[in-house]
């Protein structure tokens, strides 16, 4: 696939790039960012950390606010951040302009209902198409992959990892929606994208996947105790219970005073990159 360079700048000895391509999965142009740290040897394959963003975001939010480059340069990790939904002329959006559904809110599923099914195929995009594209154009070591994400992107990171056993050596999340089938954001998104048959929602619900037998070796999750969405939408206690029942080693950290914003994410980003680095070591 042809890759267009939107911008490239030097940062922390590496290169922060933004790229665009025509996506077969979404039928639109898609934009994503990649940070490639300085390489000790030219062409050396490096571990990669995928970051899935949350509601209303694009690749730009974490690229501009995530403060990950110094840690990625230190640990030699490529950082990839895709968009959260298809965009462009003719791409359907919520008729009332809701911020939690439609543009910016793809929920990392392949929609099966009209009009969403034509473009909202973010599962195929982040789980299949984009990894193949990145592998063709950047020096990643496919055997050393980690994944993380925030909020809706935390939901995406958990479900992608749980449904692809062995692909990711490390998994973490910031304030993830752990059980979308049981909260208003998820109920709205999954019913509209996938229809009213709730059995079809389970492959996109981390708690349900764990209940159904999916496993991870271990998992790091941070949530802010001052997050306004904590009790209604995130419900980390459901993940805590599911992991305990399944024997998954979950490190769940409740951070006093922190909210849902990038001030929270950037504060603990270095911890997460260090966590991934330990598990992505050659």
Looking at the annotation, which residues are catalytic? Answer: 151, 227, 260
**Any idea what DSSP says for residue 181?**
G
Is residue 76 within 8 Å of 280, Cβ to Cβ? no
CB-based contacts of 251, cutoff 8 Å, min separation 6:
218, 219, 220, 221
Residue with tokens 């039928």: 27
Nearest to 52 by CA among 123, 1, 4, 133: 123
Instruction: In whole angstroms, give the CA distance from residue 187 to residue 164.
Output: 24
CA 189 to each of CA 26, 110, 113, 152, 160: distance values in angstroms, whole numbers, following the listed order: 17, 12, 11, 11, 17
What's the distance, CA 190 to chain centroid? 17
* Positive or negative: CA dihedral 97, 150, 164, 69: positive
CA 129 to each of CA 38, 148, 189, 206, 272: distance values in angstroms, whole numbers, following the listed order: 26, 18, 22, 22, 25
- DSSP output for 69-116: HHHHHHHT-EEEE--SS--STT----TT--TTSBTTB-TT-B--STTG
Is residue 205 within 8 Å of 217, Cβ to Cβ? no
């Amino acid at each position: 696939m042809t890759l267009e360079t939107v911008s490239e700048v030097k940062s922390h000895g590496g290169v922060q790039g933004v790229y665009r391509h025509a996506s077969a999965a979404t039928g639109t142009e898609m934009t994503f960012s990649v940070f490639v740290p300085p390489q000790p040897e030219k062409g050396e394959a490096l571990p990669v950390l995928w970051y899935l963003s949350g509601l209303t975001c694009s690749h730009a939010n974490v690229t501009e606010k995530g403060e990950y480059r110094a840690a990625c340069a230190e640990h030699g990790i490529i950082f990839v951040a895709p968009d959260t939904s298809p965009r462009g002329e003719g791409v359907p959006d919520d008729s009332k302009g809701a911020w939690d559904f439609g543009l910016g809110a793809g929920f990392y599923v392949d929609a099966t209902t009209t009009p969403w099914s034509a473009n909202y195929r973010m599962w195929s995009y982040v789980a299949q198409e984009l990894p193949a594209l990145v592998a063709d154009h950047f020096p990643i070591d496919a055997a050393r992959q980690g994944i993380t994400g925030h909020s809706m992107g935390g939901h995406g990171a958990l479900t992608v990892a749980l449904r692809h056993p062995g692909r990711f050596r490390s998994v973490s999340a910031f304030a993830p929606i752990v059980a979308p089938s049981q909260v208003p954001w998820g109920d709205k998104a999954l019913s509209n994208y996938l229809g009213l048959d709730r059995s079809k929602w389970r492959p996109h619900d981390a708690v349900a996947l764990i209940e159904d037998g999916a496993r991870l070796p271990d998992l790091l999750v941070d949530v802010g105790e001052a997050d306004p969405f904590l009790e209604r939408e995130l419900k980390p206690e459901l993940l805590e219970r599911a992991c305990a029942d399944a024997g998954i080693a979950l490190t769940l950290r409740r951070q006093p005073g922190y909210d849902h914003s990038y001030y929270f994410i950037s504060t603990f980003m270095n911890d997460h990159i260090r966590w991934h680095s330990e598990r992505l070591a050659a």
